Amino acid sequence: MPFMTLKDGTNINYEVLGSGPPVLLTPGGRSDMNRARAMADAVASAGYQAILHDRRNCGASDVVIARRYDPSTGSGRAQGKELSEQELFVEDAYELVTNLGVTPVWSAGVSAGCRLSIMLAVRHPRAVKGLIVWRVSGGPIAAERLSRQYYGAFIEVAIKEGMAGVLRTPFFAERAQQNPASGDRLLKMDVKEFVAIMRDWQDFLLVDQPVAGATEEEMRRINVPTMIVAGGDDIHPVSAAETLHRCVAGSEYHSPFWPREELDRIMQNQEEYDRRTFEAVSPLVLAFLAKHEPVGAPSVRG
């Protein structure tokens, strides 16, 4: 699989399947792109070009815990607004699809991939021709749990055990295994700098918003075909999907697939959850794409 070196030097692992109208697919959590592969295969087989990538600090892409600023918000000698990791994910995705020459894209994703897609449409509206999102995250429980899962837990380890301890956590140990240079880079980091950056990144997710990553005013500016499938658990409450639906004019809304008790049971087994979610979501995704951008004969996966 190829890597793309972004303008800040970060190497991003990506893959392109099929040909046709481009669809960027982003998985949830900090999962690597393989969690979105079944959907990518279905999209490519239906005659679209599926674009997968490991976000920075995920999968085989480089782990880079460093500050970066948004030059578009600066003036004179000012560096501009500091970007959170969630915003860096968006800027990396934008640079990836721009460098591939496939904008505007359909941006599709679940949970964290949903956040990336919404924020991409907000920050770079000309790069997005449509949104397809499911399991929309938002609300106070999501703010507390996600900020701890992504940042707070690693801050605690760094303070108690240093960077060697961080590298012993299952998540970062796997990153170092997939990308040894990332492990070397992390081990050389100053603990205080690591903690300070992670705390700043944590602050972005700690904000209690109905939809994580975007304000209602920002979502109202989204003006592309949008399909929304509600989640139904504490981190992805129905209210988050309903808020997004209310804000995005003309959006298509789908209720949760299962009652809460059944959803809780399914989520106990990751493989079963992934399989059943794919079986339920993929027909909706393909129907929505076909409705708004029909293609000819299915393409051969490439």
Structure tokens at 96: 């990836």
- At 1, is the pLDDT very low, low, confident or very high (cuts 50, 70, 90)? low
Is residue 297 in some structural domain? no
The mean pLDDT of 248-265, rounded to a whole number, is: 95
CA distance 275 to 265: 14
CATH of the domain at 283: 3.40.50.1820
- Look at residue 91 and tell me if it is in a domain: yes
Residue 297 has pLDDT above 80, yes or no: no
Contact between 33 and 13 (Cβ < 8 Å):
yes
What domain range is 170 assigned to?
Answer: 143-205
Residue 299 lies in a domain: no
How confident is the model at residue 70, as a pLDDT? 84
pLDDT at 209 (0 to 100): 94
How much is the mean pLDDT over the chain? 94
| Percent of residues, the chain, with pLDDT higher than 90 | 92
Are 106 and 16 within one domain?
Answer: yes
Domain shared by 166 and 258, yes or no? no
Over residues 52-77, the pLDDT tens digits come to 999 999 999 999 999 999 877 654 44
Give pairs for 265-269: CB < 8 Å, separation 24+.
267/233
pLDDT at res. 140? 96
pLDDT digits (tens, 9 = 90+) for 179-225: 999 999 999 999 999 999 999 999 999 999 999 999 999 999 999 99
- Are residues 149 and 281 located together in one domain of the fold? no
In percent, the amount of the chain with pLDDT more than 70 equals 95
| Residues contacting residue 45 through CB under 8 Å, at least 6 positions apart | 18, 298, 299, 301
Q: For residue 131, is pLDDT > 60?
A: yes
In this structure, are 110 and 148 located in the same domain? no
Do 44 and 111 have their domain in common?
Answer: yes
Domain C-terminal end among 163, 179, 205: 205
The reply to whether 39 and 123 lie within a common domain is yes
Q: 158 and 62, same structural domain?
A: no
Whether residue 178 is found in the same domain as residue 108: no
* pLDDT of the residue at 300: 39
> CA-based Rg of the chain, rounded to a whole angstrom?
19
49 and 171: one domain? no
Ramachandran bin of 54, using left for φ above 0, alpha for ψ from -120 to 50, beta for the remaining angles: beta
Q: Considering 205, 224, 246, which residue would you say is the last residue of a domain?
A: 205
Q: Which helix (H) or strand (E) holds 107?
A: strand 105-110
64 and 45 in a common domain = yes
- Taking the C-alpha atoms of residue 149 and residue 209, their distance in angstroms, rounded to an integer, is 18
Looking at the domain assignment, is residue 302 inside a domain?
A: no
Residue 241 lies in a domain: yes
Query: 43, 18 in Cβ contact below 8 A?
Result: yes
Rounded to whole angstroms, the Cα distance separating 277 from 268 reads 13
169 in the same domain as 24? no
pLDDT (0 to 100) of residue 80: 76
Q: Answer whether residue 301 is part of any domain.
A: no
Domain count, the chain: 2
Helix (H, G, I), strand (E, B) or coil at 183: helix
DSSP-assigned letter for residue 111: T
Question: Do the domain assignments include residue 126?
Answer: yes
Residue 300: inside a domain, yes or no?
A: no
Identify whether residues 159 and 264 lie together within a single domain.
no
The last residue of one of the domains, among 205, 224, 247, is 205
Q: Read off the pLDDT of residues 220-237 as tens digits, 9 standing for 90 and up.
A: 999 999 999 999 999 999
Average pLDDT over residues 264-276: 92
User: Quick check: helix, strand or coil at residue 221?
Assistant: coil
7 by DSSP, 3-state: which? coil
